Structure 1
Amino acid sequence: MTQNTSVLSPSNSPSITPTAAAAAAITRRLRAPSTLTTVSASRPLQFSWIRFHLYRSSVSPLLCTVSHSVEEEEEEEDREMASEDGQDLRIARIASAIRVIPNFPKPGIMFQDITTLLLDTKAFKDTIDLFVERYKDKAISVVAGIEARGFIFGPPIALAIGAKFVPMRKPNKLPGAVISEEYSLEYGTDKMEMHVGAVEAGERALVIDDLIATGGTLCAAIRLLERVGVEVVECACVIELPELKGRERLGNKPLFVLVNAA
């Protein structure tokens, strides 16, 4: 089939008259089987932290431009402002996202509800980021999360720092062989359990929960890990209730918290 090379120029652009040699070369390319894949984009391709804008020009090949997301710019501004006044603005955002429920689960208790924190994607991300920044270079190989809200914060921290996540559960929740540690409550006792073989002697662990009150569950988790030769580097919680003196119960074991409850 004969190709007409006189219609190569778009109607809205200046006419281009090729030389005889150029026209012959164009004709040969038009007759050759095409091996190119046509790419078209009617809107920007979206990624979580970067945007690629694709567009065509009548005389140019496919072009690509890169721009930072609004969220990334806001995070950079937060870091700059925090460094100026010596305070991390993320802490205030986390504290304001935690809801206090009076008289739950019984009269006189001011329950620190982190479910509202989980609904705030910015504050939730800030929480994980602050822990990751603290522990990413500590050679921690185990993140031990205490049932149940330690299961929320522990796994993303473990993934980010390259550690395994080990659940510390209440009795009869783990299948298979377990070791257990008893601890005291206000009325009675309870137990903390961990799978046999989940950790190995010589590993370095972080113990995490959402809140420290009297410190009983954290102490039980520490004892479980140390019984099998694991070094507990630190305990970490989102919230501390200082009036219950749980920190003192931990003895010389370091504790890191983000928010002190009023």
Structure 2
Amino acid sequence: MLSLTTLCSPNETAASSSYQPPVFRLRSYNQTLPPTLCSASDSVANQPKMSSPDEQDPRISKISSAIRVIPNFPKPGIMFQDITTLLLDTKAFRDTIDLFVERYRGKDISVVAGIEARGFIFGPPIALAIGAKFVPMRKPNKLPGEVISEEYSLEYGTDKIEMHVGAVQAGERSLIIDDLIATGGTLCAAIRLLERVGVHVVECACVIELPELKGRERLGDKPLFVLVSST
């Protein structure tokens, strides 16, 4: 298990909370996408401050120390954030789910949209605990029924995410969950996909953020909630 050394947080916190997420130092992660916003109406200047758990919460340091960093995977220069070791630690895994549940319970969220693939790990228990349905957002040709899709850019080419037609209804309130935000392209695509069918995206949530890749800026005015921030 790689020891993660707490440094300082580069992120601002919401006025309603004093939390500064733990920070662990990594080598540079390959930049893959330009900081294009989710839509033309989004504005980085209007980006909200991050809201996070209380800085005194002892669960945060346990969660951060349970995440393993694998150098040069899946290709040279990338420091891969491996949450499988977090899943092996039953206490840290439960605390991760509990922190999200505590934040979103009572917020009138009816949809938890999980992004393939690790969003499928964290999304369902959160959805069950807050009384919401879980909607998988999958890679192309994985869902068997009629789908709606949204394309997003990669370093070389494009990719898509899809969800079933009829899985959500106009006017519903959604949380989007994934394990990590890097450049933010997939989260942006998920936001656009849900908003196209009239769903209100309340917030995006991730266990880990790589702030040097500026994915938060691409989300524009959509709030982002993270537990652990690396630099």
Letter in 1 for 2:214: K
For structure 1, the 5+ residue unaligned runs are 1-84
Cα 1:113–1:86 shift into 2, 3 Å: closer
Q: Residue 224 in 1 paired to residue 201 in 2?
A: no
How do 1:39-118 and structure 2 match up within 5 A?
87-118=56-87
Letter in 2 for 1:240: E
Letter in 1 for 2:96: T
Cross-structure match for 2:202: 233
Cross-structure match for 1:133: 102
Greater percentage in helix = 1
TM-score, normalised relative to structure 1: 0.67
TM-score, normalised relative to structure 2: 0.76
How many residue pairs match? The answer is 178
Cross-structure match for 2:49: none
Of 141, 144, 147, 1:175 maps to: 144
Cα 1:93–1:191 shift into 2, 3 Å: same
Identity over the aligned pairs, expressed in percent? 89
Matched residues in 1 for 2:218 and 2:90: separation?
33
The 4+ residue runs of structure 1 with deviation greater than 6 A are none
Letter in 2 for 1:221: A
Q: Residue 202 in 1 paired to residue 171 in 2?
A: yes
Letter in 1 for 2:71: P
Higher relative contact order (CA 8 A, sep 6+): 2
SS at 2:103 equivalent: helix
Partner deviation per Cα, 1:84-103 (whole Å, 9 max, x = no partner): x9511100000000000000
SS at 2:121 equivalent: helix
Deviation at 1:261, TM superposition (A): 1.8
SS at 2:170 equivalent: coil
Cross-structure match for 1:44: none
Letter in 1 for 2:135: V
Computed over aligned residues only, the root mean square deviation of the Cα atoms, in angstroms, reads 0.9
Letter in 2 for 1:171: P
Question: Which structure has the larger Rg over C-alpha atoms?
Answer: 1
SS at 2:216 equivalent: helix
SS at 1:100 equivalent: strand
Matched residues in 2 for 1:187 and 1:110: separation?
20
Matched residues in 2 for 1:104 and 1:159: separation?
33
Matched residues in 2 for 1:137 and 1:237: separation?
19
For structure 2, the 5+ residue unaligned runs are 1-53
Matched residues in 2 for 1:93 and 1:182: separation?
36
